[in-house]
Amino acid sequence: MKKAAVFAAFVFVAAFLLFAAGRLHPFGEPSAPAMDDYFLAHSQAETGANNVVTAIVFDYRGFDTLGEATVLFAAILGVVAVFRGPREDER
């Protein structure tokens, strides 16, 4: 019974992965070329940045980038707190 359940789960996951791989768009083709053309045409005028990637990351998606930086900072603080060890007065 257990082997049948494991085999069924394996078949389900394999079928899902094959289906998902078949639905991918070809590598290198943008999924929304109109949006790409808009950013290439307007990013310097709207943001003042010469680099389109910089304009997208810091101007168009600024709050998202700030959130990612906050999560990264919190993770670093957690790792430092775990590996720091006890203080002198706690020993």
Query: How do residues 28-85 score in pLDDT, each as one tens digit?
Result: 887 778 888 899 999 899 988 899 998 888 888 888 888 999 999 999 999 999 998 7
CB contact set of 52 (below 8 Å; sequence gap of 6+): 39, 40, 43, 44
Here the tokens at position 7 are 């085999």
The yes-or-no verdict on residue 89 having pLDDT over 80 is no
Contact between residue 57 and residue 39 where contact means Cβ atoms under 8 Å apart:
no
Q: Dihedral, CA atoms, 7, 9, 11, 14, nearest 10 degrees? A: -130
pTM score above 0.95: no
CB contact set of 1 (below 8 Å; sequence gap of 6+): none
Please give the pLDDT value at position 91.
60
The whole domain housing 40 covers 2-90
Domain tally, the chain: 1
Please give the pLDDT value at position 6.
95
- 48 by DSSP, 3-state: which? coil
